[in-house]
Each structure stands twice: as structure tokens, then as C-alpha cells.
């Protein structure tokens, strides 16, 4: 499916809230998101993203067939990790399983390696999140390892998988 990554607009708040106000989505993300997640929460998030330093935060709406269907963020890390960025993403449940996130992750990697000095992109899905692991594998990321009991989510200890893609690997693949 053809997708576009575009900068957020404040007017995206209702669509964004519709995507993330879903336990099945939030159960795969870090804690800290309100539930229920309202348009006002989305407006706060979007204002933060619009004010963030573009060198540190790449935040985009994932748009498919004219509709905002998801979110993708790459956050530059600090200190000695400043040439690495962590990817985070989600898609609204009605859009799962259509290849949208794989296309979005590929597009984000292409943009980031072409337009920034980042050398490493990484993501840490829960080990049980097979769809997210598969997205990263399809986008050319390498599994570096299993982070055992690296998180507690909804009161349960969770292993996480560490995936990365290096600048030169993207160059080889593109
Ligand atoms: C994980 C998520 C981003 C995947 O998005 P998506 O657009 O459905 O992903 P894609 O369609 O590009 O690819 C999904 C792949 O996972 C596979 N998959 C899905 N569920 C699976 C499962 N339970 N076991 C194994 N593979 C699975 C699909 O078959 C597909 O692989 P294929 O193309 O080889 O068949 C989406 O489900 C989501 O937003 N989930 C909630 C939030 C989340 O998990 N965010 C990621 C945090 S790290």
C-alpha cells in the first residue's frame, strides 16, 4: 500500500486520538499514555511534537489513502549515543496487516539516513509482539538480542527484542 510520512498538524488530533484510544494498541507501547485517550491529550502530544527540536525528534503522521492511520517517531539519544535514534510506531487497529508499518519504517529509515547524521536506528518491541518484530525484519533490521525481563507491563515481566539498522546496511539494501 502506498503511504506517506508527513509532519503532524494540530488538526490531526481527533484522528490521532481515535487510533490510540485502544487498549490493544497501548498494551504494546510504553506506559504513560492516558486511557481513555482524548482529543485534548492528542492536542498536547502534537503541540509537543511541533515544538520539538527537528534535529532530535522526527515525528510523522503515517497517511494512507488520504487518512491518518498511524504515528512514527524517531528520537535521537543523548551523550555518547547521540548518533543513534530509537524508532517507535503504531497503526490504528483497523489498518493492521496491510503492510503499512513496514512501508512507513522503510520510508523513515530512507529519510533519516539521507537527511541526518544518524548512524544507527533501533527499536525494542516486546518479545511477544511478533507483528512488530516482523515489521523490523522485513525492513532489514538485525536482531541483536533478547533483553530478558527488561520491562514490566500491566504488572507482567516482559522480555524485549533489540533490533537495529546501521547506515551502511541501509545503503547496501537500498
Ligand atoms: C505492530 C504493528 C505496528 C504492525 O503494523 P502493521 O501495519 O500491521 O504491520 P505490517 O502489515 O507492515 O506487517 C506485519 C507483519 O507481521 C505479521 N504478523 C502479524 N501478527 C503476527 C503474529 N501474531 N505472529 C507472527 N507474525 C505476525 C504479518 O503477517 C506481517 O508479516 P508478513 O508481511 O510477512 O505476512 C501494529 O500491529 C500496531 O500498531 N500494533 C500496536 C502498537 C505496536 O505494537 N507498536 C509497535 C511497538 S514496538
Nearest CA to ligand 1 atom 31: 134
Dump pLDDT digits (tens) for 80-120.
Answer: 999 999 999 999 999 999 999 999 999 999 999 999 999 99
Domains of the chain: 3-173 (3.40.630.30)
The pLDDT value recorded for residue 157 is: 98
Residue 172 has pLDDT above 80, yes or no: no
Residue 174 has pLDDT above 80, yes or no: no
Which ligand 1 atom minimizes the distance to the CA of 100? 7
Nearest CA to ligand 1 atom 18: 131
Give the distance (Å) from ligand 1 centre to CA of residue 26: 14
Average pLDDT over residues 62-91: 98
Q: How far apart are CA 98 and CA 126, in angstroms?
A: 21
Dump pLDDT digits (tens) for 9-34.
Answer: 999 999 999 999 999 999 999 999 99
Distances (CA, A) of 41 to 13, 14, 25, 151, 167: 8, 10, 16, 25, 35
What sign for the dihedral angle of Cα 9, 164, 78, 20? positive
* pTM assigned to the model: 0.97
Query: What is residue 26's three-state secondary structure?
Result: helix
Amino acid at each position: 500500500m502506498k503511504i506517506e510520512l508527513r509532519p503532524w498538524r494540530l488538526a490531526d488530533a481527533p484522528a490521532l486520538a481515535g487510533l490510540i484510544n485502544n487498549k490493544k494498541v497501548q498494551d504494546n507501547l510504553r506506559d504513560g499514555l492516558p486511557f481513555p485517550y482524548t482529543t485534548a491529550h492528542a492536542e498536547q502530544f502534537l503541540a509537543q511534537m511541533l515544538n520539538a527540536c527537528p534535529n532530535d525528534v522526527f515525528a510523522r503522521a503515517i497517511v494512507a489513502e488520504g487518512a491518518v492511520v498511524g504515528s512514527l517517531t524517531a528520537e535521537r539519544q543523548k551523550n555518547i549515543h547521540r548518533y543513534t535514534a530509537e524508532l517507535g510506531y503504531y497503526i490504528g487497529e483497523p489498518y493492521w496487516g496491510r503492510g503499512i508499518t513496514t512501508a512507513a519504517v522503510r520510508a523513515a529509515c530512507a529519510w533519516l539516513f539521507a537527511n541526518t547524521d544518524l548512524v544507527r536506528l533501533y527499536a525494542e518491541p516486546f518479545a511477544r509482539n511478533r507483528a512488530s518484530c516482523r515489521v523490523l525484519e522485513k525492513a532489514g533490521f538485525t536482531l541483536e538480542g533478547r533483553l530478558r525481563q527488561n520491562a514490566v507491563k500491566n504488572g507482567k515481566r516482559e522480555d524485549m527484542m533489540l533490533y537495529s539498522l546501521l547506515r551502511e546496511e541501509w545503503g547496501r539494501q537500498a
